């Protein structure tokens, strides 16, 4: 069957339908439409072309993820819109996925598979690839029964790419063997890294780590502060590997600062677990710099997601500086000064200091250096909202 294309030239992109639900009893602070908007961005990043959205608000979770009537509607749309893939906004259980795939007769993937796919495309270093491979394999293991013969028939593409792909036709025993091999390799990489860290820090240099939502500007700030050339790009998950540099604080004291992988709403736990080696600098940091893109309409939600994920990782109590970045994108006019209304909506007591910045304009970098110095040298937390001075 010939596939519809939006344009006659350019690469073929799978036509996808996005599906999300909001469950009243679960009271998520992230609105359904916003979550689907982000899913759409992830789908594009993975190479799909989202052509329709199906959403439903329900009183309680459904065993089939969405209601019966909606599945009928979806089935109809899949047939008539020549859909290749249906993407669900939450992690589906293996049974849900199988049931939906049997019913819709096209590839069914979930948010987790999509995020793993984007990571698989971005992974360059050996460590990054190993970690994505680990996460994909952990994700696939409970889903192996019967599913992959079906998927192979449907072809690969979005949600099936990456190092995990080669295992599609193997059985669980082989996958388990592979899991232990990957884990062993990661352990080796991890021990090399801790040795390097020890050499670098001599054990007593303070460790500072940038954290934040993907695309917030962590790499841009890192480059400004350390004069490095880490990739900064307007796309999700540009950074997967941690880069660490020595930095000198205004008083001359040395510290190390690390740029690392970003967070996202509903970040799959398999991924966080697999990326433990990469996140080591963050886990062991004396100070976290939480970077927020203040120009995003979701700045408040994104800040909350990152705070929650840091708590889940067991580092909710590490001292933290809040950096409100991309200040240049919310420029003030003569009549209206810059609005930092985000500050009214987030719990600033989590942070010892707040700095405003624009990494691209170079605003606020000296304030940030001063704030880091004050935190790691004096270690007396004071809530001090500095305005940029450059
Ligand atoms: N206008 C403006 N753009 C910025 C600013 N800071 C970063 N950017 C841009 O925002 C995009 C994302 O920046 P990155 O530094 O790659 O973001 P990141 O937080 O490292 O993102 P990931 O590595 O994907 O998690 C890039 O296109 C940057 O040039 C800023 O202060 N103002
Ligand atoms: Mg980055």
pLDDT computed for residue 373 by the predictor: 95
pTM score over 0.75: yes
Nearest-atom index, ligand 1, CA of 239:
23
CB 239 within 8 A of CB 282: no
pLDDT value at 101 more than 50: yes
Task: Residue count of the chain, please give it.
Answer: 390
> Residue range 291-320: average pLDDT?
94
Distance CA 52, CA 64 (A): 20
Does the pLDDT at position 166 exceed 60? no
pLDDT at 102 over 50: yes
Please, what's the b/e burial string for 202-238 (b: 16 or more CB within 10 A of its CB; e: otherwise)?
eeebbbbbbbbbbbbbbbbbbbbbbeeebebeeebbb
Nearest to 211 by CA among 135, 279, 158, 267: 279
Least confident of 118-132, 322-336, 365-379: 322-336
What pLDDT band is residue 282 in, cutting at 50, 70 and 90? very high
Per-residue pLDDT band for 162 (boundaries 50, 70, 90) equals low
Q: Is the pLDDT of residue 145 over 90?
A: no
Region 219-244: what's the mean pLDDT? 94
Confidence of residue 344 (pLDDT cuts 50, 70, 90): confident
The Cα–Cα gap between 228 and 257 comes to 11
pLDDT mean over 270-279: 89
Q: How far is 11 from 90, CA to CA, in rounded Å?
A: 28
Phi, psi of 345 (to 5 degrees): -105, -5
Q: How confident is the model at residue 199 (pLDDT cuts 50, 70, 90)?
A: confident
pLDDT at 165: 47
Of ligand 1's listed atoms, the one at least distance from the Cα of 237 is 24
Q: In what order do the strands lie in the sheet with 107-110?
A: 48-58, 14-23, 85-88, 107-110
The answer to whether the CB of 215 is under 6 A from ligand 1 is yes
Tens of pLDDT, residues 6-33: 554 556 789 999 999 999 877 677 899 9
pLDDT of residue 192: 86
199 CA → ligand 2 middle, Å: 25
Ligand 1 binding pocket mutation candidate from 45, 211, 219 (most atoms within 8 A of CB): 219
* Confidence class for position 389, pLDDT limits 50, 70, 90: very low
Q: Which range has highest mean pLDDT (38-42, 163-167, 280-284)?
A: 38-42
In this prediction, residue 341 has a pLDDT band, given cuts at 50, 70 and 90, of confident
For ligand 1, pick from 223, 231, 233, 309 the residue to mutate: most ligand atoms within 8 Å of CB.
233
Helix-then-strand count for the chain, H and E: 13, 11
Residue 364 CB less than 6 A away from ligand 1: no
Whether residue 167 is predicted with pLDDT greater than 50 in this model: the reply is no
Q: Is the CB of 20 under 6 A from ligand 1?
A: no
**What mean pLDDT do residues 33-51 have?**
95
Distance between CA 287 and CA 256 in Å, rounded?
Answer: 10
- The ligand 1 atom at the shortest distance from the C-alpha of residue 235 is 24
Residue 390: what pLDDT? 46
Instruction: Give the number of the atom of ligand 1 that is nearest the alpha carbon of residue 262.
Output: 25
Does residue 270 surpass a pLDDT of 70?
Answer: yes
* Residue 150, pLDDT score: 45
Q: Would the CB of 218 count as within 6 Å of ligand 1?
A: yes
Segment among 12-26, 124-138, 324-338 with least mean pLDDT:
324-338
Share of the chain above pLDDT 70, in %: 84
CB 354 within 8 A of CB 384: yes
Q: What are phi and psi of 116, to 5 degrees?
A: -60, -35
What domains sit in the chain, N to C, each tagged with a CATH number?
Answer: 14-167 (3.40.50.11060), 205-386 (3.40.50.300)
* Local confidence band at 191 (pLDDT 50, 70, 90 cut-offs): confident
């Amino acid at each position: 069957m010939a596939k519809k294309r939006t344009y006659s030239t350019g690469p073929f992109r799978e036509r996808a339908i996005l599906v999300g639900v909001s469950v009243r009893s679960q009271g998520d602070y992230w609105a359904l439409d916003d979550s689907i908007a982000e899913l759409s961005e992830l789908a594009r990043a993975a190479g799909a072309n989202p052509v329709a959205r199906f959403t439903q608000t329900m009183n309680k979770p459904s065993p089939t993820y969405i209601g019966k009537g909606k599945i009928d509607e979806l089935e109809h749309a899949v047939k008539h819109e020549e859909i290749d893939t249906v993407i669900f906004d939450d992690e589906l259980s293996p049974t849900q996925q199988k049931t939906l795939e049997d019913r819709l007769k096209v590839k069914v993937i979930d948010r987790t598979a999509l995020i793993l796919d984007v990571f698989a495309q971005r992974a360059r270093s050996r460590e990054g690839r190993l970690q994505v491979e680990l996460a994909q394999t952990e994700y696939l293991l409970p889903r192996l029964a019967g599913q992959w013969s079906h998927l192979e028939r449907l072809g690969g593409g979005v949600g099936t790419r990456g190092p995990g792909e080669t295992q599609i036709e193997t059985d669980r025993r082989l996958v388990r063997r592979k899991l232990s091999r990957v884990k062993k390799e990661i352990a080796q990489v991890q021990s090399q890294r801790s040795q390097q860290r020890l050499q670098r820090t001599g054990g007593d240099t303070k460790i500072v780590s940038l954290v934040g939502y993907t695309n917030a500007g962590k790499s841009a700030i890192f480059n400004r502060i350390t004069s490095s050339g880490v990739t900064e790009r307007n796309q999700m998950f540009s950074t997967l590997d941690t880069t660490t540099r020595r930095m000198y604080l205004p008083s001359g004291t040395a510290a190390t600062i690390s740029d690392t992988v970003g967070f996202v709403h509903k970040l799959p736990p398999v991924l966080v677990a697999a990326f433990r080696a990469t996140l080591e600098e963050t886990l062991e940091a004396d100070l976290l710099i939480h970077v927020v893109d203040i120009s995003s309409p979701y700045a408040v939600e994104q800040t909350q997601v990152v705070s929650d994920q840091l708590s889940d990782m067991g580092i909710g109590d590490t001292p933290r500086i809040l950096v409100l970045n991309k200040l240049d994108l919310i420029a003030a006019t003569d009549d209206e000064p810059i609005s930092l209304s985000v500050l009214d909506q987030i719990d600033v007591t989590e942070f010892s200091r707040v700095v405003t910045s624009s990494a691209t304009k170079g605003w606020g970098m000296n304030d940030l250096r001063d704030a880091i110095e004050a935190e790691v040298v004096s270690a007396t937390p004071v809530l001090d909202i500095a305005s940029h001075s450059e």
